[in-house]
Amino acid sequence: MEEVKAAVFGLNGDSTCGPDGFTRQFNQDSWEVIGEDIFNMVRDFFNSAGLPSFITHTNLVLLPKKKNVPTFSDMRPIRLSNLSNKIISRVNHERLVEILPSLISPNQAGFVKGRSIKGNILLTQEIITDIRLRGKPANMVIKLDMAKAYDRVSWLFFTKMLRQIGFGEIFTSEVLRRALDALFDNPDFIGFGMLKWSQNINYLSYADDTIISCSSHYGAVQLIMNILGDYEAASGQKINKEKSSVYMHEKAHADEVNIVYLITEFQRKYFPFSYLGCPIFYSRRKDFYKRIIFKVHERLSSWKGKLLSIGGRAVLIAHVLESMPIHLLSAVNPSVYVINQLHKMFARFY
């Protein structure tokens, strides 16, 4: 009973309700009346591993990733679940939180308590800094994009995964991670050239956002593509070759660039690129931060500052404007110019 109660009271009270219309606040306020019924529902699920279909019903909301969205690939699906479903998920989460670190690769920053999205951004930036190291073969980075087509997923593959490690969908990508980890044991694999004292890292992931680093040696690139092909065949997932891309130093030899394209069929793109919401580059330039300056300016231009009180303007600056670049500024170190530009815009608005 205490485990279920902790799950109910641990849910976010501000989260949007699902099709059942109940919020966490309702369950908390009514716990003395309905607590035993909720406990019986959760107990029955774990005893029988079954749920009535109405409990698993969800509302699917599509949120645009940008202003103009010509296709569904530019929409982000958000699932609004019933409260009963959330409670069961919360109980599962609390039971798994202690053992997940031993099951999920250290290079995967998602799903595991204590791992941060910022760590992956900083590590990616450090790897890209070393892409300039001139060597034979040249260094390269692959930015993978997995097609968001859930009907492509092989349920037979998931069943095998469940039997092997006892878990579900979020561990599917762990098969890919383990195969990439094993590359260092392959004598034919030539990894990303880094300084002697640097740790060998050939991939970083946050959920399905994956960065693969290696050399542009024919054998190394072919080994990676073989792993990706095996993963596609086993899981039913598909790599989006149109959106996946390869990044190399701007002075990389044309022959190396052509070989990489012939093997991967991924387009070569140039720095900076966006990874987990932050620009990644091998030489810092103030132009790379124009996007965040433009977003703040765009938000300011839509407000009628002169019609607001000084207190109202101060609240908007503190709780809206200053929160916009927080994710970026917590992961990268922009130039003094960028900080000064933001401060000037805040001051003019105030």
- C-alpha to C-alpha distance for 121 and 11, rounded to whole angstroms: 28
Average of pLDDT values for 231-237?
A: 78
Mean pLDDT within 174-186: 75
Strand 273-275 and strand 278-280: pairing? antiparallel
Q: What is the DSSP string of 185-247?
A: G-TT-------TTSPP--EEEETTEEEEEEE--HHHHHHHHHHHHHHHHHH---B-TTT-EEE
* H or E, element range at 161: helix 155-165
Better pLDDT: 117 or 264: 264
Residue 25 has a pLDDT of: 80
pLDDT, average across residues 212-229: 90
Nearest by Cα to 28 from 87, 95, 88, 92? 87
Average pLDDT of the segment spanning 151-177: 57
Q: What is the predicted pLDDT for the residue at 67? A: 77
Residue 346's pLDDT is 82
- Domain segments of the chain: what residues? 2-96, 106-280, 286-349
* Residue pLDDT, tens place only, 73-82: 778 888 888 8
Q: State pLDDT tens for residues 292-327.
A: 788 888 888 777 766 677 787 788 877 777 777 777
Q: What is the C-alpha to C-alpha distance for residues 224 and 235, in angstroms, rounded to an integer?
A: 16
